[in-house]
Amino acid sequence: MSAATENAKSHTVVDESARAVFLDVDGTYADHGVVPDGHVRAVRAARAAGHKVLLCTGRPLSMLDDEILGAGFDGVVASAGAHVKIGGEVLLDRRFPAGLAARTVEVLDVHDAVYILEAQEALHAPPAAMERLREIIEEHFRHSPSGAAAILGALRPVADLAAVPFAKVSVFASPVPMSRLLAEIGEGVAVVENSIAAEGRHSGELYLHGISKADGLAAAIEHLNIPREHSIAVGDGENDLEMVAYAGIGVAIEGSSPQLTALADRTAAPPREEGLVAAFAELGLS
């Protein structure tokens, strides 16, 4: 865990039987931005039973709309572990250092990549790429206009992106593989492919090396005074590997990668089948 995680302060007193549940958003809690009614009920029932339920997502806070947040949560681990907020208190807020941020933007622009710089306050993109971004995002969320609206509504064109503080980068299209971008940016950055990569584009998320959702999970449970063995993490993507491995109980969504499934203690059906309803019941959360 990072130094920031180790220094997070604990002061919340909870029942010893309480569990802390961490839910990935895309492909776990929501399907292309749409949250099944059963998942909303499951979250509310778990919280009513005294458990803590938090989102643990690659999205920044600025990309979480009312559709996602409507059930009510005890906190959010955002930007794949770079930002943690519980009850209005920010526990972690890590962003790209200025030099690394400038180098990342320079490499992306040299290759004419279509990307978004993700900050908790807003999403930032090159003005010249706005139309291409809109086309890609609307196509990806063609069956869920609300999912596209959550991103596009927070998007802000900025001419001087080198001056924008950000926690993560989403690359929606690149003429060169993500591995080449990573090599040219150099040390300090890591990459994970995102779901748009399945559409035939070079795409993925660039984030600070050494940060994972497990850091956010650790900071949150320390703050909540909930032991690690009472934590539950549910996810479906490559950026969920660390948190599923770290949590007391790890749950992988059916159809996840073999690596994630192997790390998990059990599986749950995908959101289109309201898989969290059965999973929460089996785990005694409601």
Q: What tens digit of pLDDT does each residue of 32-73 get?
A: 889 999 999 999 999 999 999 999 999 999 999 999 999 999
Contact yes or no for 191/204 (Cβ under 8 A):
yes
DSSP class of residue 36 equals P
Tracing tokens 């690659």 back to the chain, one arrives at 58
pTM greater than the 0.85 cutoff: yes
Residue 229: its pLDDT value, please? 98
Residue 148: its pLDDT value, please? 85
Name the token pair of 169: 């980068």
Q: 165: helix, coil or strand? A: coil
pLDDT over 90 (residue 286): no
Nearest partner of 111 among 165, 53, 183, judged by Cα: 183
Q: Averaged over 167-195, what is the pLDDT?
A: 91
pLDDT over 80 (residue 196): no
Q: Highest mean pLDDT range out of 188-197, 200-209, 253-262? A: 253-262
Neighbour-count burial of 35, counting CB atoms closer than 10 A to its CB (0-12 exposed, 13-18 middle, 19+ buried) = buried
**C-alpha dist (Å) from residue 199 to 99, 123, 235:** 32, 22, 21
User: Burial code of 180-217, b = ≥16 C-beta within 10 A, e = fewer?
Assistant: ebbeebeeebebbbbebeeeebbbbbbbbeebbbbbbb
Angle between helices 130-140 and 145-152 (to 10 degrees): 150
Nearest partner of 81 among 99, 98, 93, judged by Cα: 93
pLDDT over 50 (residue 9): no
pLDDT over 50 (residue 4): no
Residue 192: its pLDDT value, please? 87
Residues in the chain: 286
**Phi and psi (nearest 5°) for 264?**
-75, 155
Mean pLDDT score of the chain, rounded to an integer?
Answer: 91
